[in-house]
Every structure is written in C-alpha cells, then in structure tokens.
Structure 1
Amino acid sequence: MTGSTPAILLVDDEPHSLQAMKMALEDEFEILTAPGAEEAMAVLEEEWVQVIFCDQRMPGRSGVEFLTEVRERWPETVRIVITGYTDSASMVAAINDAGIHQFIAKPWHPEQLLAVARNAARMFQLSRENERLTLEMRFLNSTTETRVEKRRRSLREGMGFETILRAPNSAMNAAVTLARQYASFDVPVLMTGEPGTGKTQMARAMHYGSLRSEKPFYELNISGMPEDLAMVELFGAKRGVLPGGVAKIGLAQKADRGTLYLAGIEGASPALQLALHRMLRDGVVTPVGGQEAVSTN
C-alpha cells in the first residue's frame, strides 16, 4: 500500500461487478481486486488490507466461508458482505462465524457503497488505535484519569453519536438528544423507524456513550428468522439439542453487562416476545432444551 490511503479488497467472480465497485471507490481508496476466495487470500498475504467487500455467492467457497477464515487470520480487517438475497441462516452464520460488520443488498448505489467504505475505514483506524491504547494501559497503575484514559474516552466518543451524520437543523438532532439521555440510564430502549434510517448505528452510538462501553456490543436481525433459530441464537442451547451434540451460548449471555441490539423485533413470534419480556423483566433466560434459568444483564 502506498502512502496513507486505506486499501480495500473487492472480491467478486463477476468482472462487471468488480469494475463497478472499483469505479465507485477508487477516487478515495487504493483498490485491490480478486475474482474468488483463493485469489483474495493471495492478495491478503501480500498487501495490508483494511476493508473487504465480498460477494456472498461465488464458485467454490461462499463469501461467509471466505470471511470466516479472514477473521481468524486477519481479525482487524473490517468485513462486509454484498448479497442479492436474504437467507436468515447465512446471515446468522455471517454474524457469528465471520464477524460481518455490515450487509449490503443488491442493487447498491455508488454513494451508499462509498459511505459504507468510509465508515469501515474509520472503524479500522479506531480499532487499531484502541489496541494500541490497551497495550499502553497495561503499564499504567494510576487510578486517576491519565492521558491514555482520556484518549480512550475520546476514542469511545468517536465511535458514538459523532458518527451519525446530519445537517445542523436536522430532525435527527432531537432523536440524538434523546438517545444521549437514555444512554446514561441502565434501561432497555426501543427504537422505531423506517428501514435504512440508521437504527443500528444509533444503537451502537448509545452503547459507546453508556457505562457499558467497555463491555461487548452484539447485534442480531431476527426479521424473517424462524422462531427456533432465533431462540437458539439469542438464548443458546443445551448439549444434545443441536447437531454434533455441542452446547451453544446465546447472544443474551455473551452480551452480559454489555449491549444486545435486536433488529426486526416487530416480527418476533408471541413465544419469542414472552422470552424477551422475561429477560428484560427478570434478567434471566433459559437455553433451548434446558430447564435452569441463566441470569444476564
């Protein structure tokens, strides 16, 4: 990579799609391309890549399978999937196995692609900075707010409400003000809005603006997801329920003391709604196939 221009790797087996993405991004980024997973791996071994845009359906390995390996070898690289269809099982696998940052649906708009690329490059920079600051903190024993702690706080704020782009007189300003207020309280929050209005970004901003910012942030879109699959992903499963005989820890437990953002909650089944209500009211969940309640906050 030359200079300080972020490098983006585009992976797609269709040449015209690669060319279209390259034209949309090449003015601001260094663009690398690959027609498949194997070629992309070769690029990653030679180049320092910050962001990957990968098509889901490709000959050989799918986008999720490829990005799962990328996560293991280059975990700091921001991974984005481009897909022309909605498959809940693939989406769940992408979130849990490949650590996908975002899905982009076809057909995409050049401005949309560029905005996602900018945010992804910024996230990469923030992640690297956070890792460096974490290493510095290991050598600091003072309990007062040190210079590094101030920088960490500034970093969290940089991943918060400042990332929500809006005009000075935007109607979003009132929503952001309310979100800041509720983020300071340890309460469940329901956000409503049309698809594409940035609810996920608002949820992430609230997490980093809260006292839970040092703990995990997880998200799951349950829209169109079968009830049994949603139950397993959220609450986990006891040994013997899933193929292979292994137990699974649900996102409700993984996000303990952190934040769990659920998209598509309006489509939840009555049984799932009751389970979620119990989690919010009593702070407990029951893994699928189990009897004992597990506490979570």
Structure 2
Amino acid sequence: MSASKITILYVDDEENNLFSFKATFRLKYRVLTALSGDEALKLLKANTVNIIITDQRMPEMTGVEFLEKVLKDFPDPIRILLTGYADMGAVVDAVNKGKIFHYISKPWNEDELDSTINRAYAEFLEKAQLKEMNEKLEGSNDQLEFLLRQKLLS
C-alpha cells in the first residue's frame, strides 16, 4: 500500500455502510472503519488520519459528539458529517461544535463524496503547511530574541 494514499476514517453504526464505503474507495484511499465513536477514537490513537467521515445518528455517541471529542486530541484531520435525515439542528451543531468541513446527506453519491474528500485533503495539506510555517517562524523568533539579548549583554 502506498504511503501517499489519503487515510480516511469512516464511522457508522451500520456495518453495511462501512462495507459499501470500503468497497467503493479502498483502491483509491487507505480506509479505516469503525462501528462507534469509541472504536474510532482508538483507531485515531493508533493511526495518522487525514479525513474523518462520520454518520450523525449512532446509538452511544452522535457524530457531532464524536467530532467534539476528536477536536480535543486530534485537531488536524478534516471532518465530514453524513446523515440520512434532514436534521438541520445536527448540521448546525456539527459546524459550530464539531468544526466540520462539509456536510453530505445519505445515501451519498460516489462522485460528490470523492470530490469532497479531495477538497478536504487539499484543506488538510494547506493547514499542515501553515502549521509548519508557524513553527519555523517561532523558531526564528526565538533565535532572533537570543541574538538580541546577547548583543544587549555584550
């Protein structure tokens, strides 16, 4: 398996949906699947994930609740919410609390989902590049401060 493949974590309590997603996208992406938010959190601890796609309606933890937990320890993956219900309250919560990138209604359209995954990955790369640049800038600022202090002391 190519290391350059986008890694997607797909979370849904309906096993058929997990099989369908994996069958559709396994050749193009590295696909991890979980039947619950708790199972997904364990996978996030053990894997580097670029994109998280989660169903909203799950028994122990809704998609929004799961994404809120994800944000605390894993802020980098781009988050996408799927739901089969026209539940605008959940969508608003997902945007505000789960900081989702995109909302897709179920049943999903393969081309739309694939396009969304690619746009989400571009966002992931952009955020990673910005984070790296900020870290370099912090290092440069520390070096500059050190040099200025040395000048002042001499």
The TM-score by the shorter chain falls in which range?
0.7 to 0.9
1:55 equivalenced with 2:45 (yes/no): no
> Which position in structure 1 is the counterpart of 2:16?
16
Give aligned-pair identity as a percent: 34
Instruction: Check the 8 A contact 1:13/1:58 in 2, yes or no.
Output: yes
Alignment of 1:57-96 (within 5 A): 57-96=57-96
Alignment of 1:98-177 (within 5 A): 98-139=98-139
**Richer in helix (by share):** 2
| CA distance in 2 between partners of 1:78 and 1:139 (Å) | 27
User: What's the offset of the Cα at 1:138?
Assistant: 3.1
Structure with the greater relative contact order (CA < 8 A, sep ≥ 6): 1 or 2?
2
| Secondary structure, aligned partner of 1:138 | helix
> Which position in structure 1 is the counterpart of 2:43?
43
> Which position in structure 1 is the counterpart of 2:32?
32
| CA distance in 2 between partners of 1:35 and 1:9 (Å) | 11
Instruction: Check the 8 A contact 1:37/1:61 in 2, yes or no.
Output: yes
C-alpha distance after superposition, 1:174-221 (max 9, x if no partner): xxxxxxxxxxxxxxxxxxxxxxxxxxxxxxxxxxxxxxxxxxxxxxxx
- Structure 2 residues not aligned, in runs of 5+: 142-154
User: What's the offset of the Cα at 1:88?
Assistant: 2.6
Report runs of 4+ in structure 1 exceeding 6 Å deviation. Answer: none
User: What's the offset of the Cα at 1:52?
Assistant: 0.6
Alignment of 1:167-206 (within 5 A): none
- Structure 1 residues not aligned, in runs of 5+: 142-297
Which amino acid in structure 2 is aligned with residue 59 of structure 1?
Answer: P
Which amino acid in structure 2 is aligned with residue 97 of structure 1?
Answer: K
Alignment of 1:211-250 (within 5 A): none
TM-score, normalising length from structure 2? 0.85
Which amino acid in structure 2 is aligned with residue 50 of structure 1?
Answer: N
Looking at CA atoms only, which structure, 1 or 2, has the larger radius of gyration?
1
| Secondary structure, aligned partner of 1:10 | strand
| Secondary structure, aligned partner of 1:32 | strand
Instruction: Check the 8 A contact 2:56/2:90 in 1, yes or no.
Output: no
> Which position in structure 2 is the counterpart of 1:290?
none
Q: How many residues align?
A: 141
User: What's the offset of the Cα at 1:118?
Assistant: 1.2
| CA distance in 2 between partners of 1:111 and 1:56 (Å) | 21
